[in-house]
Chains A and B, each alone.
Chain A
Amino acid sequence: MWTLFHKFGSPPWLYRLSGSILRWLLPITVVALVAGSVWGLLFTAPDFRQGNSYRIIYIHVPAAVVALAGYYVMAIAGAVSLIWRMKMADIAMRACAPIGAALTFIALVTGSIWGKPTWGTWWVWDARITSMLILLFLYLGVVALYEAYENKALAAKACAVLSLVGTVNIPIIYKSVDWWYSLHQPASIKFTGGSTIDPSMLYPLLFMILAFYALFTCALLLNMRAEILQREQRTAWVRALAGEREGS
């Protein structure tokens, strides 16, 4: 257990491990994304009320699900880096923020594109949309705080504190926005279909969610590798690695 723990703190070990994971995860992700999109976009029946426009669900829902999960990955990595002062954890935390922000942004944009044909408007101050927007702000706040610090080790600590504060706050924000919505506005818009979704639509959706998780993992590892190389650029192993590339 402890040797594994120490190994996770070692940049070259993690760099090599992530390299060998990416070697098979990256092709699988690409294949899964393409297969899932083709399955969802071409081989499912159109919705009887929304026609073909509902098919954006295969991008929208996976992006939203993984964006939410990403915040918790970031907060857990932040907690690990604060408690055990593990260098690799704060690299992971730092790598999560822009990916999470990008996924949240994708969820918002696809949601608004979906909203235009179904609800007739690009933007509604609906509870879920509002909480996703706040989630985007939380992610961008972490990125902004990290960039503001000159000393990156301190930046990581500050971001860890901020993301933990966010973890406590996310349920509160989510609940309050929910109440605010039910109080201030009549529920003029309902998600058509609700919880009843046909298995023929559900399976490709679940498949796409898994593919997005894989995409998140790939992006996270790639980001972490870049960050590791940047931080360790003066060490012997990175120089050796760079020399190897140049020589070959």
Chain B
Amino acid sequence: MTSASAAGFCFRLVRRQLVLGLRRPVDLGNPLLFFAMVVALFPLGLGPAPDTLADFAPGILWIVALLSNLLTSDAVFRSDLEDGSLEQLLLAPQPLYFSALAYVLAHWLLTGLLLGLASPVFALMLGLAPAAIPALAFSLLLGTAVLSLIGGIGGALTVGLKRGGMLISLLILPFYMPVLIFGSSAVQAALNGTPAGPYLAILGALLCISIALAPMAIAAGLRISVDT
């Protein structure tokens, strides 16, 4: 097996996941709809005063992004475990590390990317200052990729279990916290007029380390889950 064939395999795997996702456009819209609904809950809970909302906006948007990512992580491997294609993937000669990375990439393209691109609209709804919007979008684009990788670990570990939904949040929410801290700090920094670059750089560093390590944990988790 050459490296080119492994890359081609991953590419086809990503394309397959994307096609599967795009054939069900409603599922594709669900995380965004969830995002919109939870964003709408905050003015109802906190009161509609624009000042308060604008103050809390960076935190609100980041927490909602985190939750919507969490809810979709549960399903990354589930359907493929149920129809047996995950077992075939484990038997395939291609390294599982790259296959896991391909799954996560597809998941991010279908959730995090869309969320990052749609976030300016939600930011305006909460009255976030326009100056902070690029920082929000970039931090979400970088951060959700990290979240997808960490969520993949949780998804892989719980996919074989009957009721994974609640468990996955208990497992991976602690690991989401650094991303939340640096993501919302980036937006906060942009709001205060200080450069958001350092925080985005840290998010990038977190992304690098997760790309390097998370697929290993995902692969190990998948091997365990397929055994159940």
| A residues lining the B interface (CB < 8 Å) | 82, 134, 137-138, 140-141, 144-145, 148-151, 154, 157-158, 161-162, 164-166, 168-169, 172-173, 175-177, 179-180, 183-184
Contact across chains for A158 and B221 when beta carbons are under 8 A apart = yes
List residues of chain A with CB within 8 A of the CB of B213. 168
The answer to the question of B70 belonging to the interface, with a C-beta cut-off of 8 Å to chain A, is: no
Query: For window 142-186 of chain B, which residues contact chain A by CB distance below 8 Å?
Result: 153, 157-158, 160-161, 163-164, 167, 170-171, 173-175, 177-178, 181-182, 185
Contact across chains for A158 and B157 when beta carbons are under 8 A apart = yes
Contact across chains for B157 and A145 when beta carbons are under 8 A apart = yes
- Bound complex: CA of A154 vs CA of B157, how far in Å? 10
- Bound complex: CA of A175 vs CA of B171, how far in Å? 20
Contact across chains for A144 and B177 when beta carbons are under 8 A apart = no
A26 to chain B, nearest CB (A): 33
List residues of chain B with CB within 8 A of the CB of A161. 153, 157, 217, 220-221, 224
Digit string of B96-129 for contact with A (CB within 8 Å is 1, else 0)?
A: 0000000000000000000000000000000000
Contact across chains for A176 and B161 when beta carbons are under 8 A apart = no
Closest B residue to A143 by beta carbon equals B170
List residues of chain B with CB within 8 A of the CB of A177. 177-178, 181
Query: For window 188-212 of chain B, which residues contact chain A by CB distance below 8 Å?
Result: 206, 209
The answer to the question of B83 belonging to the interface, with a C-beta cut-off of 8 Å to chain A, is: no
- Among B167, B178, B227, which residue has its beta carbon within 8 angstroms of that of A148? B167
List residues of chain B with CB within 8 A of the CB of A144. 167, 170-171
- Bound complex: CA of A169 vs CA of B172, how far in Å? 11
Contact across chains for B224 and A137 when beta carbons are under 8 A apart = no
- Bound complex: CA of A172 vs CA of B227, how far in Å? 31
- Bound complex: CA of A51 vs CA of B167, how far in Å? 45
B100 to chain A, nearest CB (A): 13
- Among B161, B182, B185, B206, which residue has its beta carbon within 8 angstroms of that of A149? B161
B168 to chain A, nearest CB (A): 10
Chain B interface helix/strand/loop/mixed: helix
List residues of chain A with CB within 8 A of the CB of B157. 145, 158, 161-162
- A-B CB pair tally, cutoff 8 Å: 79
- Bound complex: CA of A25 vs CA of B153, how far in Å? 39
Give 16 A-B contacts (CB < 8 Å), ordered by A residue. A137-B174, A138-B174, A148-B167, A158-B224, A161-B221, A161-B224, A165-B153, A165-B217, A168-B213, A169-B178, A172-B209, A176-B178, A177-B181, A179-B181, A180-B181, A184-B185
List residues of chain B with CB within 8 A of the CB of A158. 157, 221, 224-225
A125 to chain B, nearest CB (A): 12
Closest A residue to B154 by beta carbon equals A162
List residues of chain B with CB within 8 A of the CB of A149. 161, 228
The residue in A137, A141, A168 that gathers the most chain B C-beta atoms within 10 A of its C-beta is: A141
- Bound complex: CA of A189 vs CA of B228, how far in Å? 50
B67 to chain A, nearest CB (A): 16
Contact across chains for B174 and A180 when beta carbons are under 8 A apart = no
- Bound complex: CA of A81 vs CA of B177, how far in Å? 28
- Bound complex: CA of A176 vs CA of B205, how far in Å? 13
Please provide the 3 A-B residue pairs with the shortest distance between their CB atoms, ordered closest to farther: A176-B178, A180-B181, A137-B174
List residues of chain B with CB within 8 A of the CB of A150. 228
- Bound complex: CA of A161 vs CA of B225, how far in Å? 12
List residues of chain A with CB within 8 A of the CB of B221. 158, 161
List residues of chain A with CB within 8 A of the CB of B171. 141, 144-145, 162
Contact across chains for A141 and B174 when beta carbons are under 8 A apart = yes
List residues of chain B with CB within 8 A of the CB of A179. 181, 185
List residues of chain A with CB within 8 A of the CB of B217. 161, 164-165
- Bound complex: CA of A172 vs CA of B181, how far in Å? 11
- Among B175, B185, B224, which residue has its beta carbon within 8 angstroms of that of A154? B224
- Bound complex: CA of A138 vs CA of B175, how far in Å? 9
B70 to chain A, nearest CB (A): 13
Contact across chains for A173 and B224 when beta carbons are under 8 A apart = no
- Among A141, A169, A173, which residue has its beta carbon within 8 angstroms of that of B170? A141
B95 to chain A, nearest CB (A): 18
Contact across chains for A137 and B173 when beta carbons are under 8 A apart = yes
